[in-house]
């Protein structure tokens, strides 16, 4: 993240924190005493985060004022300052003022003079309450507040605005762990990597730990470095560079323009080195000026004198900070809470219909754009074509972006089945676990809505018929508790949803026998294993009879298949007897868009989903052979069955001399579609054909072309299946 981007994030988050602070302040007065501490905590955290993050960016105008507010809030938290309506009003004004400071800083990079004056005025007002609480001098300094003790510690001389060290670089202190070399962690790698996210302004290698010859182990690492690092990276990004050595090494990272106190802490934390030595090192590598160091050491001495124990406590408290993002370690929990709040605030509930309407409009916009582009091409105006093509690109981006709005995680759909499985298991007296994976997988809301029913069928069948009874499981030496698994993942532009069980599995022989008996499969017809399994999803594969291991499997299963096909998806079944069955539903990521390849037959245009198109070859009737009413051509030594679209769909009109074969592949089978013309690729919004056309085979939907006319989308899956199943292809005349 660049500095600007990080800063932008800060402004946005600060506003959210301030809104939160306001809401909490308004609540204070209506709350009973029990809830008050938590509310005060929340307000304090908000102020603290706004201040803490502001100091990261050196936004002193915000830091200095908010710090005072924070101090007062801290007192209130401790009960030193009582809540009163007047105080709440003052805090609300302060909150408004901080918001103004944030706005001004964002707009102008600094706080206006007027606001500075107001800051001082408000600090005076706040001071009155602070005095009331502690009876000590009001604290208007900018040192980090770790508690109310800090106020007493502010005896040492300090100018409010002179606290920041004039160093525009990050300061990184590295003490590599003894085993770094053995672990393959060569400092060189990290230092070189550091160069990827910024510039090393100065590097100082430290030899302080190099032992005498006698104690030296060539494989030990004794090295340390002090680095001035110029970078717009965030602290997190810099920390990430040292991710792998974080545990064994000593790493301190100070932000640009850190407070002198942070350097003091750094100096103090280097326990193994003398303060003087590390101070010199800091000067040597340019992190501090000599004057700054002198001041720091003076401050440190004064502080130590003032309150030895407190100081130590504070150091301990802050020691961890440097390994975590600058926004304090103590604030880590606060950060998490803030993140949670932010997430809540950043997501927006939108009525699904509105979203659909938007997506529809965008889809139309794309279509209209394509139409306009067509007109531009007809007119032949180069400038117009150019600008239309730009517009089209934008429209398509916009459509993609708007479709993403509709993506939701499948987790909620999956978790509904916990209850279903639990209830069914109880009814059937089985022990069943439901294992859910891939709950984060996102898919189009329209898919989620339609997948519920098929999944329900599959899960119920898996529990009911897939899993054996406990007794059977025991006999088979399997764990008594059966497992139903739901899994989802993305696979090359598709979403795959799996419903699995570790039950008895499917017996292909029995299925085939039954299918023959039902007349679904011809007596001499040979089917692959996958095709046999697929039979259980076919209509008419009834369940009435007791065919042991598949009994009942047909209930509603044809509905599953139909639903899936309606969604332009397909099913796959894996099963091993005794081990279980996995039914896989493979769906397009979105139901709304298709990359199509447009072909012409007669006057009609058809769209072939591009992802199934393998190649296009010229068609010659001479090469065509016919067997059992099915025509074939020889494609580089392979037999390629043909579907003549003209015949298949009864398209009228004159047949051109030159025709083409579009080779498509689906379900592992290649088929050639004989068409009149190839018209190119076309990305398009799918329009469902509606209820009137349910059951129409060979056509899966429609789309609106750039010209505004409707073109039909070929259901390649269906066409291929007809051939692989040896079904009669329509009219081979």
Partner 1 sequence: MTQTNTKSSLPVKGQSTAVTAAGLAAAGSDENQYLTFKLQSETYAFGILNVKEILEYGKITKVPMMPDFIQGVINLRGEVVPVVNLARRFGLKASEITKRTCVVIIEIGAEEARHELGVMVDSVSEVLEIEDDQIRPAPGFGARIRNDFIRGMGKLNDDFVIILDQDKVLSVDELAAVQQVRDMAPAHLPEEDDDDDSGEAEPGKG
Partner 2 sequence: MLQVESRDGASHVVLEGELTIYQAQDLAQQFLPLLDKDESLVVDLSDVSDIDSSCAQLLMLARRHCQARGHQCSLVNHSQPVIDVFETLGLVSWFGDPVVLPGEQGSGRRTQSGQTEGESA
**Residue of 118, 384, 407, 689 that binds partner 1 (CB under 8 A):** 689
To which residue do tokens 């009137």 refer?
692
Interface with partner 2, residue 170, by CB under 8 A: no
Please, what is the minimum distance in Å from the beta carbon of residue 657 to partner 1? Answer: 17
Interface with partner 2, residue 178, by CB under 8 A: no
Spatial strand order of the sheet with 224-230 comes to: 199-206, 224-230, 170-175, 250-254
Tell me the C-alpha distance between 564 and 570, whole Å: 6
Closer to partner 2 by CB, 249 or 487: give it. Answer: 249
**Residue of 15, 178, 687, 725 that binds partner 1 (CB under 8 A):** 687
To which residue do tokens 């525009």 refer?
168
Please, what is the minimum distance in Å from the beta carbon of residue 555 to partner 1? Answer: 22
Closer to partner 2 by CB, 192 or 419: give it. Answer: 192
**Residue of 188, 378, 544, 692 that binds partner 2 (CB under 8 A):** 188
Interface with partner 1, residue 697, by CB under 8 A: yes
CA-to-CA dists, residue 461 to 157, 426, 537, 569, angstroms: 78, 15, 12, 20
Tell me the C-alpha distance between 511 and 131, whole Å: 87
Please, what is the minimum distance in Å from the beta carbon of residue 450 to partner 1? Answer: 14
Interface with partner 1, residue 352, by CB under 8 A: no
- By CB under 8 A, the residues from 573 to 602 that bind partner 1 are 600
Where does 518-556 have alpha helices with state H? Answer: 529-534
Tell me the C-alpha distance between 499 and 410, whole Å: 13
What does 364 interact with, of partner 2, partner 1, none (CB < 5 to 8 A by kind)? partner 1
Closer to partner 1 by CB, 119 or 703: give it. Answer: 703
Closer to partner 1 by CB, 505 or 701: give it. Answer: 701
Spatial strand order of the sheet with 432-437 comes to: 432-437, 482-491, 494-501, 580-588, 570-576
What does 202 interact with, of partner 2, partner 1, none (CB < 5 to 8 A by kind)? partner 2
Nearest CA among 125, 142, 146 for reference residue 66: 142
Interface with partner 1, residue 696, by CB under 8 A: yes
Interface with partner 2, residue 187, by CB under 8 A: yes
Interface with partner 1, residue 519, by CB under 8 A: no
| Bridge partners for 686 per DSSP | 703
Please, what is the minimum distance in Å from the beta carbon of residue 221 to partner 2? Answer: 7
- By CB under 8 A, the residues from 101 to 130 that bind partner 2 are none
Interface with partner 1, residue 355, by CB under 8 A: no
Please, what is the minimum distance in Å from the beta carbon of residue 214 to partner 2? Answer: 10
**Residue of 510, 529, 647, 665 that binds partner 1 (CB under 8 A):** 647
Please, what is the minimum distance in Å from the beta carbon of residue 680 to partner 1? Answer: 11
- By CB under 8 A, the residues from 322 to 361 that bind partner 2 are none
- By CB under 8 A, the residues from 193 to 222 that bind partner 2 are 199-205, 207, 210-213, 216, 218-219, 221-222
Please, what is the minimum distance in Å from the beta carbon of residue 389 to partner 1? Answer: 17
What does 647 interact with, of partner 1, partner 2, none (CB < 5 to 8 A by kind)? partner 1
Closer to partner 1 by CB, 26 or 731: give it. Answer: 731
**Residue of 182, 236, 333, 404 that binds partner 2 (CB under 8 A):** 182
Closer to partner 1 by CB, 422 or 687: give it. Answer: 687
Structure tokens at 104: 């001004």
Q: What is the 3-state secondary structure (H, E, C) of 410-476?
A: CHHHHHHHHHHHHHHHHHHCCCEEEEEECCCCEEEHHHHHHHHHHHHHHHHHHHHHHCCCHHHHHHC
What does 679 interact with, of partner 2, partner 1, none (CB < 5 to 8 A by kind)? partner 1
Query: Cα 242 to chain center, whole Å?
Result: 24
Q: How many CA atoms lie within 13 A of 478 on its CB side?
A: 21
Tell me the C-alpha distance between 195 and 486, whole Å: 45
Q: How many CA atoms lie within 13 A of 456 on its CB side?
A: 13
Closer to partner 1 by CB, 528 or 707: give it. Answer: 707
Burial level of 296, CB count in 10 A (0-12/13-18/19+)? buried
Structure tokens at 514: 């039954």
562, 551 in Cβ contact below 8 A?
no
Interface with partner 2, residue 241, by CB under 8 A: no
582, 498 in Cβ contact below 8 A?
yes
**Residue of 191, 368, 439, 730 that binds partner 2 (CB under 8 A):** 191
**Residue of 133, 224, 325, 363 that binds partner 1 (CB under 8 A):** 363
- By CB under 8 A, the residues from 177 to 206 that bind partner 1 are none
Number of Cβ within a 10 Å radius of residue 186: 14
Contact stretch for partner 2 (CB under 8 A) within 188-196, 343-351, 434-442, 530-538: 188-196
Closer to partner 2 by CB, 168 or 339: give it. Answer: 168
Please, what is the minimum distance in Å from the beta carbon of residue 690 to partner 1? Answer: 6
**Residue of 109, 211, 452, 650 that binds partner 1 (CB under 8 A):** 650
Structure tokens at 284: 């040597």
659, 644 in Cβ contact below 8 A?
no
Closer to partner 1 by CB, 48 or 445: give it. Answer: 445
Interface with partner 1, residue 398, by CB under 8 A: no
What does 271 interact with, of partner 2, partner 1, none (CB < 5 to 8 A by kind)? none
To which residue do tokens 């065919």 refer?
547
Helix or strand or coil: residue 223? coil
Closer to partner 1 by CB, 367 or 717: give it. Answer: 367
Report the b/e string of 328-337 with b at 16+ CB within 10 A. Answer: bbebeebbeb
Tell me the C-alpha distance between 34 and 41, whole Å: 13
Please, what is the minimum distance in Å from the beta carbon of residue 595 to partner 1? Answer: 18
**Residue of 88, 230, 391, 617 that binds partner 2 (CB under 8 A):** 230
Please, what is the minimum distance in Å from the beta carbon of residue 181 to partner 2? Answer: 5
Please, what is the minimum distance in Å from the beta carbon of residue 184 to partner 2? Answer: 8
Please, what is the minimum distance in Å from the beta carbon of residue 653 to partner 1? Answer: 7
396, 366 in Cβ contact below 8 A?
yes
**Residue of 19, 679, 683, 726 that binds partner 1 (CB under 8 A):** 679
For the chain, how far is it from start to end, CA to CA, in angstroms?
65
Structure tokens at 416: 């509904």
Closer to partner 2 by CB, 195 or 320: give it. Answer: 195
- By CB under 8 A, the residues from 49 to 88 that bind partner 1 are none
Tell me the C-alpha distance between 337 and 42, whole Å: 10
Helix (H) or strand (E) holding 335: helix 332-346
- By CB under 8 A, the residues from 597 to 626 that bind partner 1 are 600, 603-605
**Helix 60-78 × helix 113-134 angle, to 10°:** 20
Please, what is the minimum distance in Å from the beta carbon of residue 4 to partner 2? Answer: 20
Tell me the C-alpha distance between 594 and 607, whole Å: 9
| Bridge partners for 608 per DSSP | 597
The C-alpha torsion from 108 through 113 and 116 to 121, rounded to 10°, is -150
Tell me the C-alpha distance between 482 and 476, whole Å: 12
What does 193 interact with, of partner 2, partner 1, none (CB < 5 to 8 A by kind)? none
Residues lying near partner 1 in the complex (CB under 8 A) are found at 360-361, 363-364, 367, 374, 378, 600, 603-605, 647-653, 677, 679, 687-699, 702, 704-705, 707-712, 730-731
Residues lying near partner 2 in the complex (CB under 8 A) are found at 181-182, 184, 186-188, 191-192, 199-205, 207, 210-213, 216, 218-219, 221-223, 225, 230
């Amino acid at each position: 993240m660049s500095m600007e981007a990080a800063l932008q994030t800060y402004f946005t988050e600060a506003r959210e924190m301030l809104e939160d602070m306001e809401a909490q302040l308004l609540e204070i007065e209506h709350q009973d005493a029990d809830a008050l501490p938590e509310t005060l905590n929340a307000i304090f955290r908000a102020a603290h985060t706004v201040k803490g993050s502001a100091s990261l960016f050196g936004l002193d105008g915000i830091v200095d004022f908010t710090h005072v507010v924070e101090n007062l809030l801290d007192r209130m938290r401790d009960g030193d300052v009582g809540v009163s309506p007047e105080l709440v009003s003052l805090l609300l004004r302060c909150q408004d003022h901080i918001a103004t400071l944030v706005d001004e800083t964002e707009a102008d990079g600094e706080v206006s003079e007027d606001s500075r004056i107001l800051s001082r005025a408000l600090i005076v007002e706040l001071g009155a309450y602070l005095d009331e609480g502690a009876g000590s001098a009001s604290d208007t300094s900018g040192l980090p507040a770790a508690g109310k003790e800090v106020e007493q510690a502010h005896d040492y001389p300090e100018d409010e605005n002179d606290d920041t060290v004039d160093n525009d670089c990050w300061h990184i202190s590295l003490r590599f762990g003894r085993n770094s070399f053995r672990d393959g962690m060569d400092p060189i790698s990290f230092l070189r990597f550091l160069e990827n996210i910024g510039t090393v302004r100065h590097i100082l290698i430290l030899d302080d730990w190099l032992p005498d010859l006698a104690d030296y182990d060539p494989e030990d690492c004794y090295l340390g470095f002090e680095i001035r690092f110029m970078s717009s990276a965030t602290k997190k990004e810099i920390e990430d560079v040292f991710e792998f050595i974080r545990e064994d090494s000593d790493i301190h990272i100070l932000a640009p323009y850190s407070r002198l106190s942070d350097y003091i802490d750094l100096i103090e934390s280097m326990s193994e080195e003398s303060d003087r030595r590390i101070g010199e090192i800091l000067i040597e590598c340019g992190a501090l000026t000599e004057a700054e160091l002198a001041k720091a050491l003076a401050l440190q001495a004064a502080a130590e004198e003032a309150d030895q124990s407190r100081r130590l406590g504070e150091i301990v408290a802050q020691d961890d900070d440097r390994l975590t993002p600058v926004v304090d370690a103590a604030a880590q929990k606060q950060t998490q809470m803030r993140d949670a709040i932010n997430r809540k605030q950043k997501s927006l509930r939108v009525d699904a219909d509105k979203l659909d309407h938007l997506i529809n409009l965008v889809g139309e916009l794309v279509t209209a754009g394509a139409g306009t582009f067509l007109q531009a091409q007809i007119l032949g105006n180069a400038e117009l074509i150019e600008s239309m093509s730009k517009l089209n690109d934008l429209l398509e981006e916009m459509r993609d972006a708007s479709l993403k709005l509709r993506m939701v995680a499948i987790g909620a759909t999956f978790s509904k089945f916990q209850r279903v499985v639990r209830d069914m298991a109880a009814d059937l007296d089985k022990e069943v676990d439901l294992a859910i994976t891939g709950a984060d997988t996102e898919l189009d809301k329209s898919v989620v809505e339609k997948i519920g029913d098929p999944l329900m069928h599959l899960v119920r069948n898996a529990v009911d018929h897939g899993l054996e009874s406990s007794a059977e499981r025991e006999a088979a030496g399997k764990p008594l508790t059966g497992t139903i698994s739901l899994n989802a993942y993305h696979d090359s532009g598709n979403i795959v949803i799996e419903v699995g069980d570790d039950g008895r599995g499917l017996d292909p022989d029995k299925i085939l026998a039954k299918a023959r008996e039902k007349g679904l499969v011809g007596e001499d017809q040979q089917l692959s294993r996958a095709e046999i399994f697929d039979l259980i999803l076919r209509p008419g594969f009834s369940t009435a009879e007791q065919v042991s291991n598949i009994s009942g499997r047909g209930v509603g299963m044809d509905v599953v298949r139909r639903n899936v096909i309606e969604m332009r998806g397909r099913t796959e079944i894996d099963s091993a007897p005794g081990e279980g069955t996995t039914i896989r539903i493979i769906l397009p990521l979105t139901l709304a868009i298709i990359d199509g390849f447009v072909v012409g037959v007669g006057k009609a245009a058809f769209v072939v989903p591009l992802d199934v198109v393998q190649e296009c070859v010229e068609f010659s009737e001479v090469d065509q052979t016919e067997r059992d009413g099915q025509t074939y051509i020889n494609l580089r030594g392979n037999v390629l069955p043909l579907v003549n679209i003209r015949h298949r769909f009864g398209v009228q009109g004159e047949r051109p001399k030159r025709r083409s074969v579009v080779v498509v592949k689906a379900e592992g089978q290649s088929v050639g579609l004989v068409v009149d013309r190839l018209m190119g690729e076309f990305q398009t919004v799918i329009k469902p054909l509606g209820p009137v056309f349910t059951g129409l085979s060979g056509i899966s939907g429609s789309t609106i072309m750039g010209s505004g006319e409707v073109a039909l989308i070929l259901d390649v899956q269906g066409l291929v299946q007809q051939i692989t199943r040896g079904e009669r292809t329509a009219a081979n005349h």
